[in-house]
Amino acid sequence: MKRIVVIALVAAALAAILLAYMFFIHPQYVVPRRVLRVGTSPDFPPFEYISPGGEIVGIDIDLIKALAKRLGYEVEIVSMSFDGLIPALVNNQIDVIASGLTITSERAEVVSFTIPYWDADQAIIVARNSNFRPKGLEDLVDKIVGVGSGTTAEGLLTDFVKDTGKNIDVKSYDSYVLAVKDLVNGRLDAVVIDTPVARSFAESYDIVVSCIVETGEKYGLAVRKNDTELLNNLNKVLEEFLKSKEWQEIINKHAG
């Protein structure tokens, strides 16, 4: 019995020595940590937002963590303004964008999108105590309207102004949280924002959804143009994940 114990101790010691040798003498034998750097703009609830504890959470965050786990990655969340996400991806500062990013032909010229995972339109929100209740973009003429910088809402309003020749004072914000706060404080007449996010803000701020502008948008994750392997792997696990019970649980957790 004592002999077995001695042999076991010797084997453990040899294993420890071998492990130390691999780490410090020949680190090339150690499998490196696979990290997926995920860019997001956490001002877009329920997709990405700051929890009361200061953590970045949301539908997109849980989604990319679940997909990354299936692909053998650890996730590093990188927070930045929305309009900085695509430049950061192109410049190799991040590997994936998970930030309620609408798939558009213009963006698809610069990045590659996964299959869609969410449908959305645009909503016009106003302060609850305001008498202003717009029913469409025409009602925003000669009004001060907030949008997120680099968003499809910004594009929607600038295209409307260009196409009609009518005036809307469009104020672009790095954060939709700041836009909504200015709306509540009377500095804006309205804010245009994606429908699920508008409903989420309506639960936390003194605002209401005045109307929906149907745009038929679809969200996708984005990777660099030449990152074909990552794109294919994400698409493979995403297609299956969207059918899973876990995906429904994530939606219920953040969006109800």
**Residue 102 above 70 pLDDT?**
yes
Residue at 20 is within a domain? no
| 213 shares its domain with 224 | no
Residue at 205 is within a domain? yes
| 136 shares its domain with 166 | yes
**Residue 103 above 60 pLDDT?**
yes
Give the pLDDT confidence score for residue 20 in this predicted structure: 57
- CA torsion angle 255 210 116 65 (round to 10): -30
| 174 shares its domain with 243 | no
Nearest-5° Cα angle at 193, 102 to 247 = 55
| 46 shares its domain with 112 | yes
Its pTM surpasses 0.95: no
CA distance to 23, 170, 194, per residue, from 132 (Å): 66, 17, 19
pLDDT tens-digit series, residues 197-235: 999 999 999 999 999 999 999 999 999 999 999 999 999
pLDDT band at 256 (very low <50, low <70, confident <90, very high): confident
Taking the C-alpha atoms of residue 116 and residue 111, their distance in angstroms, rounded to an integer, is: 14
Check: CB of residue 48 under 8 Å from CB of residue 65.
Answer: no
Of the listed ranges 2-16, 30-44, 55-69, 138-152, the least confidently predicted one is: 2-16
| 202 shares its domain with 236 | no
Give the pLDDT confidence score for residue 6 in this predicted structure: 46
Check: CB of residue 117 under 8 Å from CB of residue 63.
Answer: yes
**Residue 29 above 60 pLDDT?**
no
pLDDT tens-digit series, residues 167-182: 999 999 999 999 999 9
Mean residue pLDDT across the chain: 92
- Determine the average pLDDT of the residues in 146-174: 97
Give me the amino acid identity at 236.
K
Give the pLDDT confidence score for residue 30 in this predicted structure: 42
Residue at 133 is within a domain? yes
| 136 shares its domain with 99 | no
**Residue 26 above 60 pLDDT?**
no
pLDDT band at 31 (very low <50, low <70, confident <90, very high): very low
**Residue 7 above 60 pLDDT?**
no
| 203 shares its domain with 133 | yes
| 102 shares its domain with 225 | yes
Residue at 19 is within a domain? no
Residue at 227 is within a domain? yes
CATH of the domain at 171: 3.40.190.10
- Determine the average pLDDT of the residues in 83-92: 98
Of the listed ranges 17-31, 120-134, 173-187, the least confidently predicted one is: 17-31
Check: CB of residue 121 under 8 Å from CB of residue 135.
Answer: no
What one-character DSSP code corresponds to residue 32? P
| 167 shares its domain with 95 | no
Enumerate residues 6+ apart whose C-beta is below 8 A from 246: 66
pLDDT band at 126 (very low <50, low <70, confident <90, very high): very high
Residue with tokens 């706060």: 181
| 125 shares its domain with 200 | yes
Residue at 6 is within a domain? no
Tokens of 66: 């679940």
| 82 shares its domain with 207 | no
Tokens of 48: 């990405």
- Determine the average pLDDT of the residues in 108-119: 98
Strands (E), 62-151: 74-79, 96-97, 111-113, 118-127, 144-148
Number of domains in the chain: 2
Residue at 2 is within a domain? no
Range of the domain at 175: 120-217
> Within a 10 A sphere around the Cβ of 156, how many other Cβ atoms?
17
Instruction: Pick the closest to residue 83 from 130, 142, 33, 43 (CA basis).
Output: 43
Taking the C-alpha atoms of residue 149 and residue 66, their distance in angstroms, rounded to an integer, is: 29
Percent with pLDDT over 90 in the chain:
86
Q: Which residue has the higher pLDDT, 20 or 183?
A: 183
Beta-strand relationship, 35-40 and 74-79: parallel
Half-sphere exposure of 60 (CA within 13 A, CB side): 32
Taking the C-alpha atoms of residue 202 and residue 206, their distance in angstroms, rounded to an integer, is: 7
| 105 shares its domain with 134 | no
